[in-house]
Amino acid sequence: MPYPPRPQLRPLAEFAGTASPRPDSTTQARVERFVIEQYRVGRSLRELSELTDRSFSAMRNILDKHGLPRRGTGAAVVESVSDL
């Protein structure tokens, strides 16, 4: 049996439809602040791209522009708790 598809997030109202090759500087600054803040608290690039109505590459470019290192691929490693 195949895995069910992952739920897709809808763009936030403030970012929906604002993506363009030459975005407004104010809007772009808001997107960048949001991406940096949310990435630092644990959101994935995929989630951020969906919430901001931008491409995955745009998310990587924002992190690179601001010198933020990207996390590794895949789910976070969960450490097992041993019974003591």
Is 52 within a domain? yes
Please give the tally of structural domains in the chain: 1
Residue at 71: amino acid letter: R
Is 62 within a domain? yes
Is 15 within a domain? yes
Is 26 within a domain? yes
Is 2 within a domain? no
State the first-to-last Cα distance of the chain, in angstroms, to the nearest integer.
38
pLDDT one digit per residue (tens) for the chain, 84 residues? 788 888 889 999 999 999 988 888 999 999 999 999 999 999 999 999 999 999 999 999 999 999 999 988 876 655 655 545
Q: How far apart are CA 42 and CA 35, in angstroms?
A: 11
Residue range(s) defining the domain that contains residue 35: 8-70
Is 17 within a domain? yes
Whole-structure pTM value:
0.80
Is 77 within a domain? no
